[in-house]
Structure 1
Amino acid sequence: MKNFVKKQCIKISLYIGMLTVLTFVGYIFEVNISILANISSFITFIFVIILQKTWLEDYKIELNQELENYKVKLSKYTLVTKLQYDLEFKIYTEIYEKIFLLFIETDKLRPYTPVINKNEDENIKERLNSFMEAYNETLNLLNKYKPFYSKEIYLVLKKVQDICYKEFEYVKATSFLQFNYLMSNERKKEIQEKLDKISDLIRERIENMKIVE
C-alpha cells in the first residue's frame, strides 16, 4: 500500500500548495479576503471531487498489484498441508538412506584382487546376499511410497536402482579374471552423479513446499 499512500500524499500536497500560492498572490495584490475565501472554497470543492473519484481507483490498482505480486510469489511454491509436508520429509529421509546404502553394497561387489575362481572368494556369497537384501528393501520402499512423492525423484531413484542391479548381475556372471574395472568404474560414477541429482531434487522440493494452515 505504499504507492497508494504516496499518491494520496502527493494530491494533498498539491492542494495545500495551491492554497498557499493563492494566499501569497492575494497578499501581494491585496485581493479581498472574501474573494480569496470563495476561490479557496471552489478549489477545495474541486479537490474533494477529484479525490473521491481517484481514491477508490488508486486503491483498486494498488490492491490488484499486490495480489499479482503475491500470486507470482506463491507460484514459486508448492502448497501442501502440514501432514503432507511431514510425510514427504519422512519419505525422502528414508529413501535417500536406503538408496545410498544400496550404492555402498553395490560398490562392495567388485573384486579388490583378481582370483582364479569366484568360489575361492569366501566373501562373495555374503556380498551378493547383502546386496540383494539392500536391493529388495530399496525396491519395496520405492514402491510403497511411490504415490506420495515426486515422480521426477522416483524416476531418478529407479534409474540408480537399475544401474546397481546391472552391476550385481555382471559380478555374478563374470569371472573375476575377466572383470572389467573400467566399465564398473563408469557405472559407479554414473550412480554417484545420480545420487547428487537426487539430493538436489529433494532439497529443491523441500525448499519449494509451502505449508498451508
Structure 2
Amino acid sequence: MIVLIVSLILFILLLNIIYFFTPVTFKYLVSPILIPLYLSLYQKYYQNKKDKELLDYKNSITKEIELYKSNLTGSNLVTKLQFELEFSIYKELYSEIMTIYLNIETQNKEIINLQKTTFDTKVLQYMPYIEDDIFNQIGDISILIKLYFYPSEGVTSDILLQDIKKLSQLIKKRIDSMRIIE
C-alpha cells in the first residue's frame, strides 16, 4: 500500500516536472489527460486486488463450511446427558440379551421365559430412548428367543447369535453417529 502511494506521488511529481518544462499548448493536454488516467488505472488495480482477496476469503470460508458439513453428515447432534442415557440403555439391554443367550442351552424354558419377560419389560420401558432400527432388531431377537424352544421353527443358537451380532453393529453405528454438543 505504501509503495503504491509513493509511486503515485513520484508520478505526480514527474508530471509536474514535465508540465513545468513543456510548451504552453502541451501543458493543457498532458495534465488533464494523464493524471486522471493514472488515477483510474491505480483505482482499477487496487480494486482488482481487493476483489481477488475477497474471492480468496470467500473460497476459504466455503471450504471450511463444506468440511464442517462433511463431518456432520450422518451424525446426530445430542447432548452429553442424552448420549450417556442411550449408551447406558444399550449396555444394559445388550447385557440382558447376552445373559439370555448364554443361558439358553443350559437353563429350562421357564427360567429363560422369565428372563425374557423381564427383558421385554425393560425394552418397553426404554422404548422412547431407543433408535427405531435398534428397537426393531431387539424385537426380532425377542421373537427368536421365544421360538428357540419350538424345534419345528428351526431357530438355532447360531441364528440367534447372528441377530445379536447384527444388533451389536447397529448399536456401534448409532454410538459412532452421535456427536455431543455442549
Relative to the length of structure 2, the TM-score reads 0.72
Corresponding position of 1:11:
none
The match for 2:54 among 49, 53, 56 is: 56
The structural deviation recorded for 1:46 is: 4.3
Which whole-Å CA distance do the structure 1 matches of 2:170 and 2:104 have between them? 23
How many pairs does the alignment contain? 153
Letter in 1 for 2:91: T
The structural deviation recorded for 1:99 is: 1.0
Corresponding position of 1:96:
94
Which whole-Å CA distance do the structure 2 matches of 1:132 and 1:105 have between them? 11
- Describe how 1:117-132 pairs up with structure 2 within 5 A: 127-132=108-113
Letter in 2 for 1:47: Y
Corresponding position of 2:123:
142
Corresponding position of 1:159:
140
| Structure 1 residue 73 corresponds to structure 2 residue 71 | yes
Check conservation: 1:102, 1:138, Cα contact below 8 A.
no
Check conservation: 1:156, 1:198, Cα contact below 8 A.
yes
Across the aligned residues of Structure 1 and Structure 2, the Cα RMSD in angstroms comes to: 3.0
Check conservation: 1:105, 1:130, Cα contact below 8 A.
no
Letter in 2 for 1:104: L
Which whole-Å CA distance do the structure 2 matches of 1:157 and 1:187 have between them? 17
The match for 1:82 among 80, 83, 87 is: 80
Relative to the length of structure 1, the TM-score reads 0.62
Which whole-Å CA distance do the structure 2 matches of 1:107 and 1:101 have between them? 11
| Structure 2, unaligned runs of 5 or more | 1-6, 8-13, 16-33
The structural deviation recorded for 1:138 is: 0.8
The structural deviation recorded for 1:76 is: 2.8
Which whole-Å CA distance do the structure 1 matches of 2:123 and 2:105 have between them? 21
The structural deviation recorded for 1:60 is: 1.9
Which whole-Å CA distance do the structure 2 matches of 1:49 and 1:163 have between them? 73
Letter in 1 for 2:74: K
**Secondary structure of 2:106's aligned partner:** helix
Which whole-Å CA distance do the structure 1 matches of 2:179 and 2:115 have between them? 33
| Structure 1, unaligned runs of 5 or more | 1-18, 20-33, 110-126, 171-178
Which whole-Å CA distance do the structure 2 matches of 1:108 and 1:158 have between them? 23
Letter in 2 for 1:166: L
Deviation readout 1:129-153 (Å, 9 max, x if unpaired): 3112211111011111111011101
**Secondary structure of 1:108's aligned partner:** coil
| Structure 1 residue 207 corresponds to structure 2 residue 176 | yes
The structural deviation recorded for 1:44 is: 5.9
